[in-house]
Amino acid sequence: MLHQLIAEFMGTALMIIFGVGVHCSTVLKGTKYRGSGHIFAITTWGFGISIALFIFGNVCINPAMVLAQCLLGNLPWVDFIPYSVAEVLGGVIGSVIVWIMYADHFKASADEISPITIRNLFCTSPAVRNLPRNFFVEFFDTFIFISGILAISTVKTGGVVPIGVGLLVWAIGMGLGGPTGFAMNLARDMGPRIAHAILPIANKADSDWQYGILVPGIAPFVGAACAAWFMHGFFGIN
């Protein structure tokens, strides 16, 4: 179990290094790829998740997926908390690594970029703040995400799962990511949000815990549970 926990920790950290890193790369002052836009960012998220899955293999890197696997009987319930904690910690450390890498650019951006935009490099926020609708968006995004992964995982050809999951992330990001930033993952949002709260970032905004706990925190678990029950009941997938 220790080996798997370390894999969950490192896999999540790598995913966040790619994801938070690309946001810093496209937004912060003085980077080579500033202004590259959301297609650049969403593509990097998809590819980054594929690479993390290729390297670390059979990992969840998402507490919502851990919940789905527990509900389907593929993981014992005793693993739920340790896996989720390892993944959130991976999100924190991955974000800290990105902050170190982009420290000069954070400093250069302090007087030009708003504190809210800096916070949003780390964690998600809604385009329009409407908490019930934001919750539904994250619920539905996660439902599609977990259902898609469970379906892709039935294909036993080597390499299909990492590539398929990356394409799934890309499609969800393009089609459904506009309202909330498609977190679909407590570790993806909470880990970087914690990092933002504790890092010595100049002129820092509040971390918006109300949104962080309710929408990217709780909604993905509801979506994952519904996805697990749907995929098992309708397709017989475990």
Structural domain count of the chain: 1
Mean pLDDT over residues 129-157, rounded?
A: 97
Query: What secondary structure does DSSP assign to 18-65, as a single string?
Result: HHHHHHHHHHSTT-TTTT--HHHHHHHHHHHHHHHHHHH-S---SHHH
Q: What is the pTM of this model?
A: 0.96
Is the pLDDT assigned to residue 1 strictly greater than 90? no
Mean pLDDT over residues 177-186, rounded?
A: 98
Scanning 102-237, the segments in alpha helix (DSSP H) are 103-109, 115-122, 131-152, 160-176, 186-198, 209-213, 219-235
User: What six digits make up the tokens of 162?
Assistant: 């990492």
Phi and psi angles of residue 185, each rounded to the nearest 5 degrees, phi first: -165, 115
Burial of 83 (0-12, 13-18, 19+ CB in 10 A): buried
Sign of CA dihedral 26, 30, 33, 35: positive
Per-residue confidence band for 96, with pLDDT thresholds at 50, 70 and 90: very high
Is the pLDDT assigned to residue 105 strictly greater than 90? yes
Rounded Cα gap, residues 183 and 203, in angstroms: 25
pLDDT of residue 138: 98
Specify the CATH number for the domain of residue 12: 1.20.1080.10
* 11-60 pLDDT tens trace: 999 999 999 999 999 999 999 999 999 999 999 999 999 999 999 999 99
Q: In this structure, are residues 68 and 146 in contact, taking their beta carbons and an 8 Å threshold? A: yes
pLDDT of residue 146: 98
Per-residue confidence band for 203, with pLDDT thresholds at 50, 70 and 90: confident
**For residue 28, what are the domain limits?**
1-237
Per-residue confidence band for 222, with pLDDT thresholds at 50, 70 and 90: very high
Average pLDDT, the chain: 97
